[in-house]
Amino acid sequence: MKNHFMLLLILVLVFTGSVYSQKFDGLALTPPMGWNSWNTFSCNVDEKLIQEMADAMVSSGMMDAGYRYIVIDDCWQAAMRDTLGNIRPDPLRFPSGMKALADYIHIRGLKFGIYSCAGDKTCGGYPGSKDFEIQDARTYAMWGVDYLKYDWCNTKGLNSIEAYSKMRDALSSAGRPVVFSICEWGDTKPWEWGKNVGHLWRTTGDITDCFDCIVDHGNWSSWGIMKIVDMRTDIRQYAGPDHWNDPDMLEVGRSMSQSEDRAHFSLWCMMAAPLMAGNDLRTMKKETIDILTNAEMIAVDQDPLGIQGFRFSQKDDLEVWAKPLAKGEWAVCFLNRSTIPQEMVFDWSKNVIADPVTRWALDAGTTVYTIRNIWEKKEIGTTSSIFQAVIPVHDVVVLRLKKLQ
């Protein structure tokens, strides 16, 4: 009788589609790391470019630092589907096809990502996946896709939860484990419903390569680093292993100063954000490589607890950020948002840093911690002494604190 009941339950699940009600678990236990084509190349993507980016990710040391995904954003598609309704790449720009490109990337020890959209057309005007979810998911599986960024253009009349769940189910039915990146810009609060749908979700509109600005495009805007940081200050409780708040791709190595790049990268690591580089990996300066591959800063982002950091204090243009880490350790980031250097004086014994979400506390009045400067890569004493530093314009000092044995 019990076996008959289980068989009946399985049949019900199969025919109702409920068997596909969950995403692939365990694919993003730490925030995904990789590269995406959009920030630098927009629609100017082709096979040679993507191959060169994969090669550069390996030769630059980024792969060794933990970066894995090579993601082609919008505009890789042909203008129309084939006669059977299959999505296909532009034959002139991707003459070898996506399976061959995925193989090229996989052979190098990397993973292959692609882009689509929940609407009938993508943001760039190419065929979207609306009403083709199952067909597209099977195609991606056949190609060897490991990561799908799923956008939200041309979706009038659609419900975001239903649309993203539909593609999640299609990916599941196709059988190939795929990291699913929800990109509906935070419009319908995906942090409240995305945990069982995707592995990460965009929290804002598009980023742009400036430290603190807004770029008006008419009916939409793109946002500088600090604008994005300030936009979502109360959603960190929704992030964790396999489900991440995504403040968008990195602008490191594009047009900002070295200090601004360092601050940007540090804040993304403090926020446990996905680290998807958006620069030209082929032409990086050493300073850019050093930022993107700083192993100690990356370790803060990739900490296994998966706790998103928070702004502890803000006075004028000086901020203190904190992030609980495994083994009772902490990361503390001092940020100077101003246009002049600022002196930071921080008395550990008089500042108990309490995390309102986890209820953990960094109390240097009762526990002494050793301090390591992450960017300078050196030990700088303990919390028994007051911390003092002059922080340059739009820059940070990031410290890792460990209980003194």
Per annotation, catalytic residue among 73, 136, 206, 280: 206
Torsions phi, psi for 128 (to 5 deg): -90, -175
Among 209, 283, 254, CA closest to 53:
283
**Count of alpha carbons within 13 angstroms of residue 222, beta-carbon side:** 12
Q: Which helix (H) or strand (E) holds 200?
A: strand 200-202
Q: Which residue has the tokens 């049949």?
A: 11
Is 206 catalytic? The answer is yes
CA atoms of 18 and 233, how far apart (whole Å) = 35
Q: Among residues 136, 146, 151, 280, which one is catalytic?
A: 151
Where does 94-202 have alpha helices with state H? Answer: 98-107, 133-143, 160-174, 190-193
For residue 180, the Cα-to-chain-centroid distance in whole angstroms is 11
Select from 328, 329, 315 the least CA-distant residue to 398: 329
Among 54, 60, 94, which Cα is nearest to 78's? 94
Could you list the active site residues?
Answer: 151, 206
